[in-house]
A and B are shown apart, each in its own frame.
Chain A
Amino acid sequence: DAKTTQPPSMDCAEGRAANLPCNHSTISGNEYVYWYRQIHSQGPQYIIHGLKNNETNEMASLIITEDRKSSTLILPHATLRDTAVYYCIVRATPGYSSASKIIFGSGTRLSIRP
């Protein structure tokens, strides 16, 4: 799996949009961008994933640059419960062969201030 680079920490005011960047300049054509988050002392939680088009779900939006070398996770209206470590991961398409392992980087520790 390709390596990703994320800022170690960020903070955001409650109610504002939190924009978390991720660089993945060595991503391969068949690799997706996945985002997970981990709230303190819990298991990781899936947020969103995408290949090249922008994606949106009830939790967040994912913006992938045209060259696919970077992406941004957007939490549109951050709340205190969004305080967590956010991991950006690139991995091969699951499902068509055996499940591919997920290698976690250091992630971004997002703090939401009241």
Chain B
Amino acid sequence: GAVVSQHPSWVICKSGTSVKIECRSLDFQATTMFWYRQFPKQSLMLMATSNEGSKATYEQGVEKDKFLINHASLTLSTLTVTSAHPEDSSFYICSAAKGQSSSSGRGEQFFGPGTRLTVL
């Protein structure tokens, strides 16, 4: 149990276009999901915390109008990189935390496999 998927696994787009990345908890309900970004040879950097049915909380320095997060259901959160530029090329990773209704592991986080975005 506790599987998190991301789609797509990789994407290449032209500068100026928008890209949507999906994060799904496949076998549990996730009231909270987190989005991270990772540049080559660097650690994961938390971008935002997404709670189902409410606005995301962004970390300092992360532009909320550029990285749109929607968490419309207990199993799906989406990250949209708007007007992408080459500097947005990165590895985007989500994690999902088990909800309070879970019989075990409440609050524990499980990570997706990541999405590699390349902006030309």
Contact = CB atoms under 8 A, between A and B. Distances in A.
**DSSP class of B's interface residues: helix, strand, loop or mixed?**
strand
B7 to A, nearest CB: 13
B67 interface: no
A41 B6 CA distance: 13
A100 B107 contact: yes
A104 B107 CA distance: 17
A41 B109 contact: no
Contacts of B46: 101-104
A105 interface: yes
Interface residues of B, number: 29
A81 to B, nearest CB: 16
A43 B34 contact: no
A21 to B, nearest CB: 18
A71 to B, nearest CB: 19
Interface residues of A, number: 25
A43 B49 contact: no
A15 interface: no
A101 B44 CA distance: 12
**DSSP class of A's interface residues: helix, strand, loop or mixed?**
loop
A94 B2 CA distance: 15
B90 to A, nearest CB: 12
21 contacts: A41-B91, A42-B114, A43-B93, A43-B112, A44-B93, A44-B111, A45-B111, A46-B108, A85-B43, A87-B43, A93-B107, A94-B109, A95-B108, A96-B107, A98-B32, A98-B107, A99-B32, A99-B107, A99-B109, A101-B46, A105-B43
